[in-house]
C-alpha cells in the first residue's frame, strides 16, 4: 500500500464523520425556530433564574437535578436568551456527542465500526420517538457520559490517574444533568 493510499484510508473516516455532523447540523439548523417544548421551557426558566442570581429550587420546585439548569444558563449566556439559541446549543452538543461516539468506537473497534456508530447515533438522536429535536436533559447526559467513558477507557489503558479523575468528574456531571446518568457511573 502506498503512503498516499494510506493517508486517504486514515483521512476517509474523519471526512465521513464530518459529513455526518454537517448533515445532522443542517437538519437541526432548519429546526432552530421550533417553539420550546415543556421541559425546555422549565430548564430555560430555571437557567434564567440562575443568571439573575437566584439559586435552583428557590422559585422552581421539582425532582430534577440542577445540572441541566446550569447547562441551560450557560447556553443562554453564550448564545442568547431565545428558543433558537437553546436549539443552537443542542446542535452543538449533538455534534460534539457524535464526534465523541466516533472517537470512543474508533478506539475500541476501529474506524469502520466507528463511522457506523456515529451515523447510527446521529440518526437516532433526531428521532421523534426520543423527542430528538428538543434540548432535553438526555442529550446533556449522553454528552458527559460518552466523554467520561472515553476518558475512562484511556485511563485504564494508559494507567493515567489524571484521566481517571477527569472521567469521574464527567460521569458525575452526567448524573447531575439527570438521575438516569447514574447508570453510566455504575
**Is the per-residue pLDDT at 1 higher than 70?**
no
What is the C-alpha separation between 91 and 152, in angstroms, rounded? 25
- Structural contact between residues 177 and 67, judged by C-beta atoms closer than 8 angstroms: yes
What is the C-alpha separation between 15 and 24, in angstroms, rounded? 14
What is the C-alpha separation between 90 and 16, in angstroms, rounded? 21
pLDDT grade for 7, boundaries at 50, 70 and 90: confident
What average pLDDT does the segment 72-86 reach?
97
What average pLDDT does the segment 151-171 reach?
97
**Is the per-residue pLDDT at 52 higher than 70?**
yes
Amino acid at each position: 500500500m502506498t503512503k498516499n493510499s494510506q493517508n486517504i484510508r486514515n483521512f476517509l473516516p474523519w471526512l465521513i464523520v464530518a459529513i455526518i455532523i454537517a448533515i445532522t447540523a443542517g437538519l437541526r439548523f432548519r429546526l432552530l425556530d421550533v417553539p420550546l417544548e415543556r421541559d425546555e421551557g422549565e430548564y430555560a426558566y430555571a437557567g434564567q433564574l440562575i443568571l439573575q442570581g437566584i439559586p435552583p429550587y428557590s422559585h422552581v420546585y421539582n425532582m430534577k437535578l440542577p445540572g441541566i439548569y446550569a447547562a441551560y444558563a450557560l447556553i443562554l449566556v453564550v448564545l442568547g436568551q431565545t428558543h433558537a439559541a437553546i436549539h443552537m446549543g443542542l446542535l452543538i452538543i449533538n455534534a460534539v456527542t457524535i464526534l465523541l461516539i466516533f472517537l470512543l468506537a474508533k478506539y475500541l473497534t476501529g474506524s469502520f465500526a466507528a463511522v457506523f456508530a456515529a451515523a447510527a447515533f446521529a440518526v437516532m438522536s433526531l428521532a421523534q420517538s426520543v423527542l430528538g429535536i428538543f434540548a432535553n436533559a438526555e442529550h446533556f447526559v449522553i454528552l458527559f457520559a460518552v466523554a467520561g467513558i472515553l476518558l475512562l477507557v484511556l485511563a485504564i489503558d494508559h494507567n493515567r490517574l489524571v484521566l481517571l479523575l477527569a472521567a469521574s468528574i464527567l460521569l458525575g456531571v452526567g448524573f447531575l444533568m439527570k438521575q438516569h446518568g447514574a447508570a453510566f457511573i455504575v
